[in-house]
Chain A
Amino acid sequence: EAGVAQSPRYKIIEKRQSVAFWCNPISGHATLYWYQQILGQGPKLLIQFQNNGVVDDSQLPKDRFSAERLKGVDSTLKIQPAKLEDSAVYLCAAQAVTDTQYFGPGTRLTVL
């Protein structure tokens, strides 16, 4: 089966700019997650979608982060405006009924 696709792979922006990440999960995988992985740490959940509905966004900094999943397939994560502490790898994961999450390669964001 095809993997989880993410783009761009790398992004460098200045603080206060906006940025968007895109995720295309595995076909048929209804559940989609976005994680933030700061250097030297494990990934931390930002938001979980089930089809095109949000299941849990309690850890998403909603003053600057937003996410959507149109038609229950692709998803975008946006940061506006970005802060220095947002520098991290943003990982998208897809899950089917097997309770196993499959991760994309991630987008490495550097905020200067």
Chain B
Amino acid sequence: AQSVTQPDIHITVSEGASLELRCNYSYGATPYLFWYVQSPGQGLQLLLKYFSGDTLVQGIKGFEAEFKRSQSSFNLRKPSVHWSDAAEYFCAVASPSGSARQLTFGSGTQLTVLP
């Protein structure tokens, strides 16, 4: 069965510092990969996605993620964090085959940004 691990439950960074959120997945082949962000009381917003091709993916709000097949990882990065980035971040995978695109989510990483 597929699974997603986000090893960091909570990360605290200072505003302007760089950020990296870790995501590892377990899947038989290369799945579709996603990062979502959830602010308090809000639904999930898609930051970026990887289906195939270039392993460095650019997303919204200045985020990027790198797919590393050898490490089964899809880590999210941002060079300079803004206070508005404080939120919970979820990594997710979906099967690349068939028509079903059910997402399997990690347990999330809560990001706190210090002024």
State the A residues within 8 Å of B (CB): 4, 6, 31, 33, 35, 40-45, 48, 50, 55-56, 91, 93, 95, 99-106
Contacts and interface: CB of A to CB of B under 8 A. Distances in A.
B46 A42 contact: no
Nearest to A4: B43
A91 B44 contact: yes
Interface of B: 4, 32, 36, 41-46, 49, 51, 90, 92, 94, 99-108
B67 to A, nearest CB: 16
Contacts of B49: 99-100
Residue picked from B41, B92, B107, most chain A C-beta under 10 Å:
B41
Would you list the 5 A-B pairs with minimal beta carbon distance, nearest first? A42-B105, A103-B43, A103-B44, A105-B43, A45-B102
Residue picked from B36, B101, B108, most chain A C-beta under 10 Å:
B101
A96 B90 CA distance: 21
Contacts of A48: 100, 102
A56 B100 CA distance: 9
